[in-house]
Amino acid sequence: MPPGPPGVRTRPGLVLEVERSTPPVLFHAGEGFHLERLPVGSRVIYPAEPVTPLDHPDAAIRQALANPVGDSEPLAALLRAGMRLTIAFDNQAVPLPPMRRPDNRQRVIEAVLDLAAEAGVDDVVLIAAHGLHRRMTEPELRHIVGDRVYDAFAPQGRLTQHDAEDHDNLELVGRTAEGEHVEINKRAATSDLLVYVNVNLVAMDGGHKSTMTGLASYRSLRAHHNVNTMQHSRSFMDQKSSQLHASAWRMGRLLGEHVKVFQIETTLNTDTFPKQFSFLQKREWEWSARDRASYLAVSKSLERCPPRLARSIFHSIKSPQKMTGVYAGEVEAVHALTTENVYRQHLVPIEGQADILTMGLPYVGPYNVNSVMNPLLVMCVGLGYFFNLYRGKPLVRQGGVVIMSHPTPWEFHPVHHPSYIDFFEQVLPETTDPAEIEAKFEADFANDPWYIHLYRTSYAYHGVHAFYMWYWGSHALQHVNNNVIIVGGNPRAVRRMGFKPASTLLDALEMAEDVVGRNPSITHIHNPPILMADVT
Amino acid sequence: MRALVFERSLPRYAAARVAATLAPGLGSRVGPLALSDVDEPELPGPGWQRVRPRLAGICGSDLSTVDGKASAYFEPLVSFPFVPGHEIVGELDDGTRVVIEPVLGCAVRGVVPPCTACARGHIDRCERLAFGHLAPGMQTGYCTDTGGGWSTALVAHDSQIHRVPEGMSDEAAVMVEPAACAVHAAVGAGAFGRRVLVLGAGTLGLCATAALRRFAPPSMLMVAAKHPLQKRLAADLGADLVVGSDEVRRAVRRTTASLRVGGGLSGGVDVVVDCVGSQASLAEDLAVVAPGGTIVLLGMPATVLVDLTPLWQRQITLRGSYAYGVEDAVEHGSDPSPRTFEMAFDLAAEATLERLVSATYPLDRYRDAIDHAANAGRRDAVKVAFDLRSERRR
């Protein structure tokens, strides 16, 4: 691909109508993939090709820090000796897969620290803003911030991880007019300056949501992480139509009245996989002989591979994604530019909704980096993320059917996802209704001392996190009346979630006919890489 | 009369034990149990009646005997040859339908004066099971003199006979004996208002679930069940939470807000009613019962190897629950204490326990019956019984 000017999209996404001559379409399915023939007339949404990255990201970062947007002075002017400076940064949930070193966050943090050193700021603390996610391991932290920063800060206890259950170190900043508690990490809330360093994988990320999830307590998070908000976020990727974002924005503004926040957001292109997997990102009719050979070699090898080995191979992948933009300054002004840039990469226009939406789900989502994509995460990635990758209206009509392909193993990472196991075993057999689950079970799980202990001292997601996974999908569940079919999944696991298992895509399409009738319209989201549908 | 007779034969008993390691119930094909024509048992004296079984259940302890797994402890408490079967609904010569309370205590044995326990109605604790005018035998079904339910005739003492209420089906009536075992365990467990786990959801586990709900409602009643039908029935009979048998520790941990300590829990449930009685189940009991809690062993155990250190350190009470008698612990407001069997009749009717009878077999298909009973859970069944109602017409 010829290099273009920074931030320019080389080839836009497109919507292909399947004809007889259309080659089979690639479906991701966990640690594997397969080619499927879609019925003639189906539409396939192909993502845009990766935007050309910045030629000199470090220079662009320095430029952004010196020329902030919105009502903000340059970062250097905000720094002074004797001040308390806190730098919070996104955790390992983004980007996916983890990017090759140096990570955007490392570049930005190093630039901020250089300016702080020049200004003589001594009291600097870094906080991994993982909200209710699991703590990161040392290698994960090193990967994000780089060895230099890690070695300078971690041994002195100045590289910390947010602890949403450390009540001595939480600060209740106040309550919004809507009654939302704004309670965040005390160090961040009581600093003279809070610098937030973000990596924007999808349009949902960033803005006030960064601090209001990454540094918040459970009491604060539940103001927007609840079924009602999630069901009225249409979609999460469209901030203007998202109740979740409306809540985070109200809370973030209140925080801004108490602490100066300097937001730094970076965007990435969608060059997701390294060369040996490059066929994944190509349009099938453009596959070369080499691509076809790669596909066959990789897919056949994976079929023979023990699942654990396949998982380990995939989770070792480091993405060649590169920075396409960096914006700094006042939170909302920054995020507006970030969103614009993300949309430039992700948006693909399409007219009309389909009766059936199909999607192939990958091996990784935000919550299973270096971990197992358990059934709840399959639900969340499919119905919470992929379904919500739209602006305007969902790709599938109300009462339609969603078909997802993924092996959906009845398998959980016991260290990372302990409450997920109990949620799956003890909650879902009773009900799959998000509102009922929230009312009946959330408080018990959220306050369970064992989950809290594991969240604080081990590498476990918070006890309530499993609930959020289910809530993420609640808009989709409501929209399609729970008509969800999983192709190739463990039938027991699939049924436990209230979905239907199918052996093949053909079977799934036949099953869907019971709901949407014969000759349904079908839309398939082609991934990787990520795309977002602009549905009119 | 036709009867399934269990002879004393050590080689065949050993063969049954070996066969059962291949598949549960296989002991019926090579062991000492055989279908025979034998003489009807003699009436031992006045106050005894002949009973012609209509339905006779197959119990876990029967299966254990057939498969050669019964403990040597029972050796002096049985007499050979015997006809198994102690879950019996039958009829008297005048056609009255009756359920047999099979324990052969002092009154039945003609022991005068009765032992201290029997004098207070606690026949389950009788000290004279191997004495008196009957051959040794804990219950009808293990005594050579009385016969047993797996036949077309047996004898029963008046004190053993309970009339079946009008309108109660044979299927409900045959559940009264196992229900009585469950009632006895439920009442004696100190379960009222506490957090209780019933481990196992075969006949005893399901009856215990119903009995706890009816006579000693816990604050939380969890049942660990292995098979889909068991899970449905447990929920239906009053469990607050039904979990898979491989989910017990996680479920107990969560519902009791305990922490994990090694393989066990920091806290746990107050009472475990163990309806399995195996080495694995006892280890599980000890892992999930709270300090100071109680394990009630309702399922019949055998020789097991269990680390009792947690029992000692956490001051756990391990208590057996065998059979039935009278229930002192019941707040019944009447004197004397109610007989367990009376309570079991109520339970069988109210909880519609007849639904637990999944299959019946004639005597000559006894191998199929035992195979079915030994694999009941896997075959979506609970109670398997012999149907003698047509046998007696031969």
pLDDT tens-place string over residues B244-259: 999 999 999 999 999 9
Amino acid at A278: S
pLDDT of residue A135: 97
Residue B393 pLDDT level (bands cut at 50, 70, 90):
very low
Show Cβ contacts of residue B72 under 8 Å, excluding neighbours closer than 6 positions.
none
Average pLDDT, chain A: 96
What value does the mean pLDDT take over residues B190-204?
97
Neighbour count for residue A66 (Cβ, 10 Å): 13
| Closest residue to A453, CB basis, from B241, B244, B259 | B259
pLDDT tens-place string over residues A305-338: 998 999 999 999 999 999 999 999 999 999 999 9
Residue of B nearest to A451 (CA): B259
Interior angle at CA A339, CA A335 and CA A342, nearest 5? 135
What value does the mean pLDDT take over residues B116-123?
95
Flag whether pLDDT at B283 surpasses 60.
yes
Q: Which residues of A touch B243 (CB under 8 A)?
A: 425-426
Q: Which residues of B touch A491 (CB under 8 A)?
A: none
pLDDT of residue A9: 57
What value does the mean pLDDT take over residues B360-369?
96
B261 touches chain A (CB under 8 A): no
For residue A75, give Cα distances in angstroms to A64, A69, A146, A332, B333. Answer: 9, 11, 22, 16, 82
Tallying the residues shown for chain A, one arrives at 536
pLDDT of residue B216: 96
Contact B247 A453 (CB under 8 A): no
Show Cβ contacts of residue B386 under 8 Å, excluding neighbours closer than 6 positions.
B53, B55, B56, B57, B58, B85, B149, B150, B360, B361, B362, B363, B366, B369
Interface of B with A in 61-80 (CB under 8 A): none
Residue A446 pLDDT level (bands cut at 50, 70, 90):
very high
What value does the mean pLDDT take over residues A330-359?
97
- Rounded CA gap, A432 and B267, in Å? 29
Q: What percent of chain A has a predicted confidence (pLDDT) above 70?
A: 98
Flag whether pLDDT at B214 surpasses 60.
yes
| Closest residue to B243, CB basis, from A426, A445, A449 | A426
Residue of A nearest to B250 (CA): A422
Distance from CA of B259 to the nearest CA of A (A): 5
- Rounded CA gap, A386 and A235, in Å? 11
Q: What percent of chain B has a predicted confidence (pLDDT) above 70?
A: 97
B117 touches chain A (CB under 8 A): no
Residue of B nearest to A448 (CA): B257
Q: Which residues of B touch A429 (CB under 8 A)?
A: 242
Residue of A nearest to B245 (CA): A425
Distance from CA of B141 to the nearest CA of A (A): 41
CB A349 within 8 A of CB A390: no
Distance from CA of A463 to the nearest CA of B (A): 10
Q: Which residues of A touch B244 (CB under 8 A)?
A: 425
Show Cβ contacts of residue A87 under 8 Å, excluding neighbours closer than 6 positions.
A109, A112, A113, A124, A125, A126, A127, A195, A196, A197
pTM above 0.90, yes or no: no
Q: Which residues of B touch A425 (CB under 8 A)?
A: 243-244, 247, 250-251
Contact B257 A453 (CB under 8 A): no
B254 touches chain A (CB under 8 A): yes
Query: Taking phi first (over 0 means left), then psi (-120 to 50 degrees means alpha), and beta for anything else, what does residue A494 get?
Result: alpha
Flag whether pLDDT at B394 surpasses 60.
no
Task: Tell me the two tokens of residue A20.
Answer: 């007889």
- Rounded CA gap, B290 and B269, in Å? 5
Distance from CA of A411 to the nearest CA of B (A): 14
Show Cβ contacts of residue A285 under 8 Å, excluding neighbours closer than 6 positions.
A22, A23
**Among the listed residues A6, A101, A9, A95, the one whose alpha carbon sits nearest the alpha carbon of residue A59:** A6
Q: Which residues of B touch A421 (CB under 8 A)?
A: 250
Q: Residue by residue, what is the 3-state secondary structure of chain B?
A: CEEEEECCCHHHHHHHHHHHHHCCCCHHHHCCEEEEECCCCCCCCCCEEEEEEEEEECCHHHHHHHCCCCCHHHHHHCCCCECCCCCEEEEECCCCEEEECCECCHHHHCCCCCCHHHHCCCHHHCCCCCCCCCCCCCECCCCCCCCCCCECCEEEEHHHEEECCCCCCHHHHHCHHHHHHHHHHHHHCCCCCCEEEEECCCHHHHHHHHHHHHHCCCCEEEEEECCHHHHHHHHHCCCCEEEECCCHHHHHHHHCCCCEECCEECCCEEEEEECCCCHHHHHHHHHHEEEEEEEEECCCCCCCCCCCHHHHHCCCEEEECCCCCECCCCCCCCCCCCEHHHHHHHHHHHCCHHHHEEEEECHHHHHHHHHHHHCCCCCCCCEEEEECCCHHHC
**φ, ψ of residue A405 in degrees (nearest 5):** -110, 125
Q: Which residues of B touch A450 (CB under 8 A)?
A: 253-254, 257-260
Q: In terms of DSSP bridges, do strands A396-405 and A484-487 run parallel, antiparallel, or are they unpaired? A: parallel
Flag whether pLDDT at A132 surpasses 90.
yes
H/E stretch holding A454: helix A449-457
Interface size A-B, in CB pairs within 8 Å, comes to 30
Contact A450 B253 (CB under 8 A): yes
Residue of B nearest to A421 (CA): B250
Q: Which residues of A touch B250 (CB under 8 A)?
A: 421-422, 425-426
Q: Which residues of A touch B242 (CB under 8 A)?
A: 429
Q: Where in A475-526 does DSSP place strands (E)? A: 484-487, 500-502, 522-525
Q: Which residues of A touch B247 (CB under 8 A)?
A: 425-426
- Rounded CA gap, B177 and B124, in Å? 13
Can you list the alpha helix ranges (DSSP code H) found in A161-226? 186-189, 208-214, 218-221
pLDDT tens-place string over residues A4-60: 455 555 799 999 999 999 999 999 999 999 999 999 999 999 999 999 999 999 999
Tallying the residues shown for chain B, one arrives at 394
**φ, ψ of residue B23 in degrees (nearest 5):** -160, 135
HSE (side-chain half, CA atoms, 13 Å) at B97: 15
Contact B259 A425 (CB under 8 A): no
Q: Which residues of A touch B248 (CB under 8 A)?
A: none
Q: Residue by residue, what is the 3-state secondary structure of A47-112?
A: CCCCCCCCCCHHHHHHHHHHCCECCCCCHHHHCCCCCEEEEEECCCCCCCCCECCCCHHHHHHHHH
Contact B243 A422 (CB under 8 A): no
Q: Which residues of A touch B251 (CB under 8 A)?
A: 422, 425-426
| Closest residue to B243, CB basis, from A425, A444, A449 | A425
Q: In terms of DSSP bridges, do strands B48-57 and B154-157 run parallel, antiparallel, or are they unpaired? A: antiparallel
Distance from CA of A424 to the nearest CA of B (A): 11
**Among the listed residues A204, A212, A270, A196, the one whose alpha carbon sits nearest the alpha carbon of residue A240:** A204
- Give the CA dihedral A369, A371, A374, A378, nearest 10 degrees: 20
CB A116 within 8 A of CB A108: no
CB B65 within 8 A of CB B150: no
Can you say whether the dihedral through the CA atoms of A431, A436, A442, A444 is positive or negative? negative
- Rounded CA gap, B382 and B231, in Å? 11
Show Cβ contacts of residue A421 under 8 Å, excluding neighbours closer than 6 positions.
A412, A414, B250
Q: Which residue has the tokens 């191998």?
A: B367
What value does the mean pLDDT take over residues B183-210?
97
Q: Residues of A at the B interface (Cβ-Cβ below 8 Å)?
A: 421-422, 425-426, 429, 444-445, 448-450, 453
Neighbour count for residue A146 (Cβ, 10 Å): 19
Distance from CA of B233 to the nearest CA of A (A): 15
Q: Which residues of A touch B267 (CB under 8 A)?
A: none
Burial class (CB in 10 A: 0-12, 13-18, 19+), A297: exposed
Q: In terms of DSSP bridges, do strands A123-128 and A170-175 run parallel, antiparallel, or are they unpaired? A: unpaired
Residue A1 pLDDT level (bands cut at 50, 70, 90):
very low
Contact A426 B258 (CB under 8 A): no
HSE (side-chain half, CA atoms, 13 Å) at B373: 29
Distance from CA of A454 to the nearest CA of B (A): 10
| Closest residue to A421, CB basis, from B250, B259, B260 | B250
CB B273 within 8 A of CB B185: yes
Flag whether pLDDT at B331 surpasses 70.
no
Q: Which residues of B touch A422 (CB under 8 A)?
A: 250-251, 254
How large is the ipTM? 0.81
Distance from CA of B51 to the nearest CA of A (A): 46
pLDDT of residue B333: 52
Residue B383 pLDDT level (bands cut at 50, 70, 90):
very high
Neighbour count for residue B335 (Cβ, 10 Å): 6
B253 touches chain A (CB under 8 A): yes
pLDDT of residue A8: 59
Contact A425 B247 (CB under 8 A): yes
For residue A380, give Cα distances in angstroms to A303, A347, A439, B64, B69. Answer: 25, 21, 20, 48, 50
Distance from CA of A512 to the nearest CA of B (A): 28
Residue of B nearest to A450 (CA): B259
